């Protein structure tokens, strides 16, 4: 969830409906789309079934295949930067890196289109907070489309904001969380949208998400950007980075490890 950004987003003149439009505000004479509140795009039922994932060895998953680009090898964040192009300042320790909430989001220097992404993440054992304020982060496809990360182990929230949701669009098929303190694994298959000249999708983005070996999203069509407020927006873009979110909530920060990507 991208709460801290919502004011600047609210300034966007018009929000665009799913799968429709690249809206420009140049024609002043038209009525404006009415502003929504966040709770209008949040729903809480039915809560996805809880599935206990299989046991994993300490090496939670396989290491990078030979054709993968290793985005984090346990040692440094040299593949990452801030959105402004400054060095990524999250904290590297013990083969993992942890969000530094003072320094904001980070993203890969390299940009991608179609890929298979492997990323492991851990909610700290001493996590606090409730709802969206408990271990909130997210991984963004092409810097646009968020697959939510949240502590959903014994923590309920709106279902289209759960771990593994296409944020505020499509809930996960099930809830396959490991306990705080244990590593979760995301295996994500993503294909970039194809745009028409007018900025709308000829082919939308598609995403498959597997968490801890359990399918959460099965070739789900993404309807547009994953907005905190209002409808998804369809805005033309090219190749983009993998982004990780530094969320503004006060709960203890989450960690990542074993990040690699294979271009398809």
* Contact positions with a copy of itself (CB under 8 A) in 163-222: 168-171, 173-174, 176, 187, 189, 191, 194, 196, 198, 202-203, 206, 208, 210, 212-215, 218-219, 221
CB of 25 to a copy of itself, least distance (A): 7
| The pairing of beta strand 183-191 with beta strand 115-122 | antiparallel
String of b and e for 162-190 (b: at least 16 CB within 10 Å)?
Answer: bbbbbbbbbbbbbbbbbebeebbbbbbbb
**Distant-in-sequence, close-in-space partners of 214: CB < 8 Å, separation ≥ 6:** 51, 53, 174, 176
- Alpha-carbon gap, residue 134 to 247, rounded angstroms: 10
99/216 with CB nearer a copy of itself: 216
103/116 with CB nearer a copy of itself: 116
CB of 79 to a copy of itself, least distance (A): 18
The answer to whether 65 contacts a copy of itself (rule: CB under 8 A) is yes
- Alpha-carbon gap, residue 127 to 137, rounded angstroms: 13
Ranges within 27-46 binding a copy of itself (CB under 8 A): 27, 30-37, 39-46
Query: In this chain, which of 57, 85, 126, 238 binds a copy of itself, going by CB under 8 A?
Result: 57
The answer to whether 116 contacts a copy of itself (rule: CB under 8 A) is yes
141/253 with CB nearer a copy of itself: 141
The answer to whether 238 contacts a copy of itself (rule: CB under 8 A) is no
Handedness of CA 173, 19, 234, 198 (dihedral sign): positive
In the block, tokens 């994993």 appear at 56
Query: In this chain, which of 22, 124, 129, 248 binds a copy of itself, going by CB under 8 A?
Result: 22
* Contact string 146-165 vs a copy of itself (x = CB under 8 A): ----------x-xxx-----
Ranges within 119-148 binding a copy of itself (CB under 8 A): none
The answer to whether 49 contacts a copy of itself (rule: CB under 8 A) is yes
Size of the site for a copy of itself (CB under 8 A): 85
In the block, tokens 């054992």 appear at 125
The answer to whether 61 contacts a copy of itself (rule: CB under 8 A) is yes
Ranges within 74-113 binding a copy of itself (CB under 8 A): none
- DSSP E strand boundaries for the chain: 49-50, 69-72, 80-81, 91-93, 96-98, 106-108, 115-122, 137-141, 145-149, 174-175, 183-191, 194-195, 201-203, 206-211, 214-221, 243-244, 255-263
Q: Report the length, in residues, of the chain.
A: 264
105/249 with CB nearer a copy of itself: 249
CB of 14 to a copy of itself, least distance (A): 6
The answer to whether 17 contacts a copy of itself (rule: CB under 8 A) is yes
Contact, 176 vs 170, CB < 8 A? no
Query: In this chain, which of 55, 85, 93, 238 binds a copy of itself, going by CB under 8 A?
Result: 55
Q: How many helices (H) and strands (E) does the chain have?
A: 1, 17
């Amino acid at each position: 969830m991208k709460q801290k950004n919502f004011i600047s987003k609210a300034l966007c003149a018009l929000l665009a409906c799913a799968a429709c439009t690249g809206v420009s505000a140049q024609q002043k004479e038209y009525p404006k789309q009415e502003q929504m509140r966040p709770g209008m795009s949040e729903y809480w039922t039915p809560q996805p079934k809880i599935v206990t994932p299989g046991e994993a060895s300490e090496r939670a998953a396989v290491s990078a295949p030979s054709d993968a680009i290793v985005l984090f090898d346990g040692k440094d964040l040299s593949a990452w930067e801030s959105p402004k192009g400054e060095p990524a300042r999250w904290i590297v320790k013990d083969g993992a890196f942890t969000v530094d909430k003072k320094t904001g989001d980070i993203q890969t220097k390299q940009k991608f289109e179609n890929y298979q992404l492997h990323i492991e993440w851990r909610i700290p054992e001493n996590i606090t907070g409730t709802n969206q304020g408990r271990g909130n982060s997210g991984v963004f496809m092409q810097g646009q489309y968020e697959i939510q990360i949240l502590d959903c182990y014994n923590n309920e929230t709106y279902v289209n904001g759960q771990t593994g949701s296409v944020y505020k669009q499509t809930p996960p098929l099930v809830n396959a969380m490991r306990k705080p303190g244990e590593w979760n694994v995301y295996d994500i298959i993503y294909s970039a949208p194809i745009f028409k000249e007018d900025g709308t999708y000829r082919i939308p983005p598609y995403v498959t998400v597997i968490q801890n070996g359990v399918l959460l999203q099965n070739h789900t069509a993404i309807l547009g950007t994953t907005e905190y407020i209002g409808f998804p927006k369809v805005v033309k873009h090219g190749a983009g980075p993998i982004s990780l979110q530094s969320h503004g909530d006060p709960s203890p920060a989450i960690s990542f490890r074993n990040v690699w990507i294979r271009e398809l």
